[in-house]
A and B are shown apart, each in its own frame.
Chain A
Amino acid sequence: QVQLQESGPRLVKPSETLSLTCTVSGGSIRSHYWSWIRQPPGKGLEWIGSFDYSGSTIYNPSLKSRVTISADTSKNQFSLSVRSVTAADTSMYYCARDFYEGGYYYAMDVWGQGTTVTVSS
C-alpha cells in the first residue's frame, strides 16, 4: 500500500524559500503523477503543481513563477520549493498521487498526512 509522508521546516522567514519533501513508500515515483496541494488555515484546497518521472511538470499558473517541483529517484522522494514566501504562503502542505489504471484516472487517490508551514519573522 502506497504511503506518502511530508517533511520539512515548520517555520520559514518572509522572502526566503520554503522547501518540503514527500517520501513515498510502498510504491515508486517512477510511475504516475505526483502532486503538491496546500490549504491555508480555515480555507479550501489549492493545487500547487504536479510532475511525473519523465520530467513533465505542470504548475498552477498563479504560483508558477515561484514554484519548482523536483524528484530524487534514489530516495523515492519528490520535493517542493516555493521562493520569496510571504504570510500568504502559510498553509498545510499535502503531497498526493495520481493513479492511472484500467482506463480510469484516479486523481489524488493517496494523500500524505500534511505538514504545517508558517511564514513569519
Chain B
Amino acid sequence: DIVMTQTPLSLSVTPGQPASISCKSSQSLLHSDGKTYLYWYLQRPGQSPQLLIYEVSNRFSGVSDRFSGSGSGTDFTLKISRVEAEDVGVYYCMQGIHLLYTFGQGTKLEIK
C-alpha cells in the first residue's frame, strides 16, 4: 500500500496569513500515462469532504484561487495564500494511482 504522510497534523493561522500543508507519499505517484494522481480535499466541520485540487495542481470548479497545489513524485504541498474563516476544517491529501486510493491522516486548520 502507498502510505500518505501529512505535516503538520494541526495548524493555527491568523486570518489573512498564508498556510501550507505538506503531503509525502511512500512511492512515486507518477503514473505510466504521465499523470500524477494526487488530490486535496477539505472537510469542514459536520460536512462531507469536498474536492479542492485534482491531479496535483488543478483547482476544482468553484474553489477559490487562494488555494494552490504543487509538487511531483512523492512530495506535494497545498498552499492557502490568505487564510479566511471559511477555510477551517480538516485537509486531506489522497493518492489515486491505479485507483487504489489512500488518504493522508488529515491536517486540522484552525483560526487564531
Does B37 interact with chain A (Cβ within 8 Å)? yes
**Total A-B pairs in contact (CB under 8 Å)?**
62
Q: Summarize A's interface: helix, strand, loop or mixed.
A: strand
In the complex, the answer to whether B50 meets A61 with C-beta atoms within 8 Å is: no
- Check if A107 sits within 8 Å of B106, measured CB to CB: no
CB distance from A23 to the nearest CB of B (A): 15
Q: Please, which residues of chain A bring their CB within 8 A of the CB of B50?
A: 111
Residues of B within 8 A of A33 (CB): 99
Residue among B55, B94, B96, B101 making CB contact with A104, cutoff 8 Å = B55
**Contact across chains for B106 and A50 when beta carbons are under 8 A apart:** no
Residues of B near A46 (CB, < 8 A) are 103
Interchain CB contact under 8 A, A44 and B1: no
Total interface residues on A, CB under 8 Å, equals 22
A108 touches B103 (CB 8 A): no
Could you tell me the distance between the alpha carbons of A69 and B106 in the complex, rounded to whole angstroms? 26
Given A61-B1, A94-B48, A111-B49, CB of A106 within 8 Å of CB of B96: no
A113, chain B: closest CB distance, angstroms: 6
Closest to A48 in B: B101
Contact of B37 among A44, A58, A60, A107 (CB under 8 A): A107
Q: Is the CB of A35 within 8 A of B101?
A: yes
Contact B105 A105 (CB under 8 A): no
Residues in chain B near residue A112, CB distance under 8 A: 48
16 pairs, A vs B, C-beta closer than 8 Å:
A44-B90, A44-B105, A45-B41, A45-B43, A45-B92, A45-B94, A45-B106, A46-B103, A50-B99, A58-B99, A61-B100, A94-B49, A104-B58, A108-B39, A108-B41, A109-B60
- Interface of B toward A, CB cutoff 8 Å: 1, 35, 37, 39, 41, 43, 48-51, 54-55, 58, 60, 90, 92, 94, 96, 99-106
Chain A interface residues (CB < 8 Å from chain B): 33, 35, 44-47, 50, 58, 60-62, 94, 104-109, 111-114
Besides the known contacts A45-B43, A104-B55, A105-B55, 6 further A-B residue pairs in the complex with CB atoms under 8 A apart: A33-B99, A58-B99, A107-B39, A108-B51, A113-B48, A114-B48
